[in-house]
């Protein structure tokens, strides 16, 4: 069963059940009120009739007395203790009551009876006759008009319930369409994506920010992620096949040389082994960077925490300086005590990329500055290397782009470092400013929002 049909069916059934319960409650309430009213009226009339008849006994014959108080649609009679009716008077419309068996009752009786499928109120009250014997004065009165009215009410309520179900079914159908339209649209979009192989998104109505809108928004976000990951994977395959071609060719060439002449020429053997090792290491680094770039930011498991920037920079610069035995001049403002909220590991990886670039393309000392500009802390890494031409500066963050391809290849670069740096910076909310002048050097500045303290 379709979701729209389920909503339509369950809504109609629920509303019908509620309507039936409500109408049953109305019917039984009115039924009880009307019948109780009839019984109370009969009891009061019986009390008055008994008093009047008791006062008139002896002065008027019993038959005439009873005829004066007979109900319009009922019967009145005296019943002795041996269950025999002394006098019985019935209205013209209720002659059939004469055939009802008389019964003497101890005490007062006020109840409903059914005789020949007709409803009556029955009242019985003890009375002392002229001879001193005790008898019952019994009055039976038809309440058929009240029961007929209750039948009409029952019929009206049934008809109202049936008629009310028509707009309920129609409205539930409209409601089910309103609710399932986004779902139907989503299914249609998914089918189009499957058939065409192209990513499509839902057109959202921004008037209502309900759960259906959120579902559509989540769907579009999911499609964005899928498209991004698909493009990253496609780009990964394209980049990998392109970039691995050269090192694999080099490795194959040197391996062929080794097979032909390696054992005879020790110098060629050493050269080949060094080249193969160098290309293998470069392929390993390139693979790690490509795999990281192929991931979406949300898959990087970023864990931000408060970080004392001054202490962090001292540790990072010292570790890099010891590892590569390079001179690094670290400068910071006096009493720099600003903290930032960032991912320490990702920030360190980002710094190592720029420090490594400065190390590769400059033989002079590297300068690292830490300071505050406006509401942001900044870390600048400056080298006195070859620099970058102005027209090439905007392209350096593109994957596999090399300013000096021959020199970059010699240094072991893959053209992925700055692209990876841009991805990391975007992921942890850091702004990068790259300034360079050919033949003078390059300065990379990282801007990080600080905690106000």
**Dist CA 23 CA 270 (whole Å):** 99
Q: What pLDDT is stored for residue 296 in this prediction? A: 55
Cross-strand partners of 435 = 443
Question: For the chain, what percent of residues have pLDDT higher than 90?
Answer: 15
Residue 168 has pLDDT above 60, yes or no: yes
Average pLDDT over residues 62-75: 87
Using the structure block, give the residue that is written with the tokens 């369950």: 10
Average pLDDT over residues 259-281: 77
Residue 122 has pLDDT above 90, yes or no: yes
Q: What pLDDT is stored for residue 402 in this prediction? A: 59
Nearest 5°: the CA angle 240, 297, 244 is: 10
Report residue 242's pLDDT band, with 50, 70 and 90 as the boundaries: low
72, 55 contact by CB (below 8 A): no
Helices (H) and strands (E) in the chain, counts: 10, 12
Task: Work out whether the CA dihedral 323, 327, 332, 336 comes out positive or negative.
Answer: positive
pTM for the full predicted model: 0.45
Average the pLDDT over each of 43-47, 290-294, 339-343, 422-426 and give the range with the smallest value.
Answer: 290-294
Report residue 409's pLDDT band, with 50, 70 and 90 as the boundaries: very low
| Beta-carbon contacts of residue 222 (< 8 Å; ≥ 6 apart) | none
Token pair, residue 326, equals 């390079």
**Dist CA 110 CA 289 (whole Å):** 98
Give how far the C-alpha of residue 189 lies from the chain's centroid of Cα atoms, to the nearest Å. 20
Q: Please, is 8 exposed, middle or buried when counting C-beta atoms within 10 Å of its C-beta (0-12, 13-18, 19+)?
A: buried
Q: What pLDDT is stored for residue 408 in this prediction? A: 44
Average pLDDT along the chain: 81
123, 91 contact by CB (below 8 A): no
Q: Please, is 136 exposed, middle or buried when counting C-beta atoms within 10 Å of its C-beta (0-12, 13-18, 19+)?
A: buried
For residues 246 and 158, the model is more confident at: 158
Q: Write out the DSSP string of 4-39.
A: HHHHHHHHHHHHHHHHHHHHHHHHHHHHHHHHHHHH
| Element at 367 (helix H, strand E) | strand 366-373
Domains of the chain: 3-150 (3.30.450.20), 211-294 (1.10.287.130), 302-449 (3.30.565.10)
| Segment 4-40, tens digit of pLDDT | 777 778 888 888 888 889 989 999 999 999 999 999 9
Residue 380 has pLDDT above 80, yes or no: yes
Strand, helix or coil for residue 354: helix
For residues 408 and 295, the model is more confident at: 295
Average pLDDT over residues 291-296: 63
Q: What pLDDT is stored for residue 29 in this prediction? A: 92
**Dist CA 274 CA 82 (whole Å):** 133
């Amino acid at each position: 069963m379709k979701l729209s049909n389920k909503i339509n069916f369950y809504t109609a059934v629920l509303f019908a059940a509620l309507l039936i319960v409500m109408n049953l409650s109305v019917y039984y309430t009115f039924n009880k009120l009307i019948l109780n009213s009839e019984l109370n009226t009969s009891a009061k009339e019986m009390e008055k009739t008994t008093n009047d008849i008791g006062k008139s006994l002896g002065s008027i014959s019993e038959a005439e007395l009873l005829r004066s108080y007979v109900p319009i649609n009922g019967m009145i009679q005296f019943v002795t203790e041996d269950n025999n009716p002394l006098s019985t008077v019935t209205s013209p419309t209720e002659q059939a009551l004469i055939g009802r068996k008389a019964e003497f009752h101890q005490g007062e009786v006020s109840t409903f009876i059914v005789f020949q499928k007709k409803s009556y109120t029955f009242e019985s009250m003890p009375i002392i006759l002229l001879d001193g014997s005790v008898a019952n004065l019994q009055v039976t009165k038809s309440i058929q008009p009240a029961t007929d009215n209750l039948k009409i009410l029952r019929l009206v309520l049934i008809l109202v319930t049936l008629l009310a179900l028509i707009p309920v079914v129609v409205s539930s159908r409209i409601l089910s369409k309103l609710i399932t339209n986004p779902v139907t649209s989503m299914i249609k979009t998914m089918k189009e994506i499957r058939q065409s192989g192209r990513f499509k998104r839902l057109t959202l109505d921004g008037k209502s920010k309900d759960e259906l809108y959120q579902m559509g928004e989540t769907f579009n976000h999911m499609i964005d992620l899928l498209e991004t990951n698909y493009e990253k994977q496609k780009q990964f395959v394209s980049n990998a096949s392109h970039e691995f071609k050269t090192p694999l060719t080099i490795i194959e060439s040197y391996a062929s040389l080794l097979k032909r002449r390696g054992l005879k020429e020790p110098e060629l053997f050493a050269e080949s082994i060094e080249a193969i090792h160098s290309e293998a290491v470069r392929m390993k680094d390139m693979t790690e960077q490509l795999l990281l770039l192929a991931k979406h930011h949300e898959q990087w498991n970023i864990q931000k925490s408060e970080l004392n920037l001054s202490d962090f920079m001292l540790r990072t610069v010292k570790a890099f300086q010891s590892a590569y035995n390079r001179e690094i001049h670290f400068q910071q403002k006096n009493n720099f005590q600003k903290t930032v909220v960032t991912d320490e590991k990702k920030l360190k990886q980002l710094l190592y990329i720029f420090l490594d670039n400065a190390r590769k393309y400059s033989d002079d000392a590297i300068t690292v500055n830490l300071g505050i500009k406006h509401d942001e802390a900044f870390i600048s890494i400056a080298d006195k290397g070859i620099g970058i031409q102005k027209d090439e500066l905007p392209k350096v963050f593109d994957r596999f782009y090399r300013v000096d391809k021959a020199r970059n290849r010699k240094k072991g670069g893959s053209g992925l470092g700055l692209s990876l740096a841009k991805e990391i910076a975007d992921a942890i909310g850091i702004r990068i400013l790259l300034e360079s002048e050919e033949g003078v050097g390059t300065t990379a500045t990282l801007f990080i929002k600080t905690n106000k303290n």
